[in-house]
Structure 1
Amino acid sequence: MLLSVTTPIGIGIGTAIASFYNPDSVGALTAEGILDCLSAGILVDMALVGLIAADFVRRRISCNFRLQVVSYCMLFLGAGLMSWLAIWA
């Protein structure tokens, strides 16, 4: 419900300010950076809490310490490799 309301509002605001918007101004770059950080944070939260957490609460992993350690190591390795890949993105 919230997405269906905020999307048209955001499109309207973007259309309204497009005529006097300077993409190279300090304010525009600051706003873009803040909004990029917020969206990245939401994606990380959804991935870690919504998707990955479900895998770590399964009985097979929660009862096996070695499997927990390997799973966490692989999780951090994958996150690190994706961050390293982001250097070229």
Structure 2
Amino acid sequence: MSFFFAVTTPFGISLGIALSKAYKENSPTALITVGLLNASSAGLLIYMALVDSSLCRFHGPKLQGSIKLQIKAYVAVLLGTGGMSLMAKWA
């Protein structure tokens, strides 16, 4: 992993510098590309937050033993997700 990070990071930086000369910021292709990349990165972040991080906590013995605690946890997740969505509207 360290090797691939060490190799791909400078390659990505040099590719970005090379493409920046031909990049037209307001062209339809650039806008679609930026939109697709933003959507895919946001989807990955949502997946990581909801599935990888929270799933192990929701299947723990403490939450499985209490319905009241499960409801509170799900409400907290929904409020947090709603709050982040509301903040994203202004960003």
The bucket for the TM-score relative to the shorter chain is 0.7 to 0.9
Using the aligned pairs only, state the percent identity. Answer: 39
Q: How far has the Cα of 1:50 moved from its partner?
A: 2.1
Aligned partners of 2:83, 2:60: CA distance in 1, in Å? Answer: 25
Q: Which runs of 5+ in 2 are unaligned?
A: none
Tell me, yes or no, if structure 1 residue 82 matches structure 2 residue 84: yes
Kindly provide the amino acid, as one letter, of the partner of residue 74 in structure 2.
Answer: Y
Candidates 61, 64, 71, aligned match of 2:63: 61
Q: Which runs of 5+ in 1 are unaligned?
A: none
Kindly provide the amino acid, as one letter, of the partner of residue 66 in structure 1.
Answer: K
Candidates 51, 69, 74, aligned match of 1:49: 51
64-73 or 7-16: bigger deviation: 7-16
- RMSD (Å), alpha carbons: 1.7
Structure 1 runs (4+) greater than 3 angstroms displaced: none
In the other structure, the counterpart of 1:71 is 73
Kindly provide the amino acid, as one letter, of the partner of residue 83 in structure 2.
Answer: L
In the other structure, the counterpart of 2:23 is 21
In the other structure, the counterpart of 1:31 is 33
TM-score, normalised relative to structure 2 = 0.85
Aligned residues: 89
CA, structure 1 residues 6+42, in 2 after alignment: closer, same or farther (shift >3 Å)? farther
